[in-house]
Amino acid sequence: MNPIIKNAPLAPLTTLRIGGAAKQLWTVDSEAECVAAIEQLDQDREPFFVLGGGSNVVISDDGFDGTALHLVYEGAEHQQRGPHSFAIDASAGDSWALLVDALVEAGLSGVECLAGIPGSVGATPIQNVGAYGQEVATTIEAVRVYNRATQQVEELTPEQCGFGYRSSALKGNSDLVVLAVRFLLEQSPLSAPLAYRELAEKLGVSVGERAEAAAVRSAVLELRSGKGMVLDQRDHDTWSAGSFFTNPILDAAQFARLEARVSEHCGADTQAPRFDADGGKLKSSAAWLIEQAGFSRGEQRGQVALSSKHTLALTNLGGATAAELLAFAHEIAARVEELFEVELQPEPALVGLQW
């Protein structure tokens, strides 16, 4: 176990670079250390939260009156499952972006569209991380967790994980701490079938076709960079928690109300983006709604701004506070709801904050 740091600043451990200090910071270097730390914290009745790559979290300016458990242990093992498939058991502390790079270079396909996403492997099943038509749920075989209720290490099947759009049964469940994730990937130089039109067009193929996985990875990185979604310390557009709002999932009646409001406020010829979602529901675009509500790229409130490249990212221009960021986020959400009767929900985890 690494030395415990008292009154530890948390902002430097997040991509937003926002937030106060934790009462203490425990950095763990192995799965065994992680389990032992959780057991000790529970025995001491010490509140804690798990901090991985810090890329999908907003921490209160007051910090956290408890322990931040920082997972930094790494290591991935592979096992051949069939003539053309491999299982990859990756530690929760592994860098997701580096893992994707390594898997593509090893000729394994299924996660190439998720290149460049910052954060740790342990966070991916919690959010069911996805981008450019791909989600980790499609390749996850099992998630290893420490169950605080049973005090046991357990393996969860995809069905037990309850994956949905940017959600899972793990999200908001403090009893289950992710220790590792096992992915089942195809051994192939080709990507999985492409489902995202912008990416397919960039690669010169049709939706549903496959392309060289390495080329897909490069195209995704280029698209993400153009939207400020690849970390760059020099670029304040990347000082964010990624997309701040999830795309709204609406039933038929809700989408009909949205269409009516769009016609009223944007003109009869304007149509809201519409995509099929699970359960017969429909997904629209949070970024489009934000723009139609009158917010522009680069628009500022104090030291917080919408990214100059992408209206879904709220960014820290330097010295921003969590209070400033949430105030701007609430302003955006309130305006969208007023005009379009759609409630936007934040995607990042909020620590010491309420939405």
Instruction: Write the DSSP string, 267-332.
Output: -TT-----EE-GGG-EE--HHHHHHHTT--TT-EETTEEE-SS-TTEEEE-SS--HHHHHHHHHHH
Sign of CA dihedral 227, 250, 156, 152: positive
**CATH number for the domain running over 76-226:** 3.30.465.10
Q: Is 354 exposed, middle or buried (0-12, 13-18, 19+ CB in 10 A)?
A: exposed
Catalytic residue among 243, 261, 284, 307: 243
User: What tokens appear for 354 in the block?
Assistant: 């309420």
Q: Could you confirm whether 74 is annotated as catalytic? A: no
d(C-alpha 91, C-alpha 112), whole Å = 19
The answer to whether 89 and 182 have CB atoms below 8 angstroms apart is yes
| Res 207: pLDDT | 96
**CATH number for the domain running over 236-351:** 3.90.78.10
Q: In what order do the strands lie in the sheet with 282-283?
A: 249-250, 282-283, 275-276
Model-level pTM? Answer: 0.93
| Res 298: pLDDT | 97
d(C-alpha 151, C-alpha 201), whole Å = 49
pLDDT digits (tens, 9 = 90+) for 270-293: 999 999 998 999 999 999 999 999
Q: Could you confirm whether 85 is annotated as catalytic? A: no
In sequence order, what DSSP letters do the residues of 331-348 get, joined into one string?
A: HHHHHHHHHH-----B-S
Say how far residue 139 (Cα) sits from the centre of its chain: 16
Q: 263-288 in b/e burial notation, b at 16+ Cβ within 10 A?
A: eeeeeeeeebeeeebeeebbbbbbbe
Catalytic residue among 31, 33, 135, 347: 347
| Domain ranges (residues) in the chain | 5-71, 76-226, 236-351
**Architecture of 5-71 per CATH?**
2-Layer Sandwich (3.30)
Catalytic residue among 31, 91, 112, 166: 166
| Res 231: pLDDT | 86
d(C-alpha 55, C-alpha 131), whole Å = 15
Q: Could you confirm whether 291 is annotated as catalytic? A: no
Residues of the chain with pLDDT under 50: none
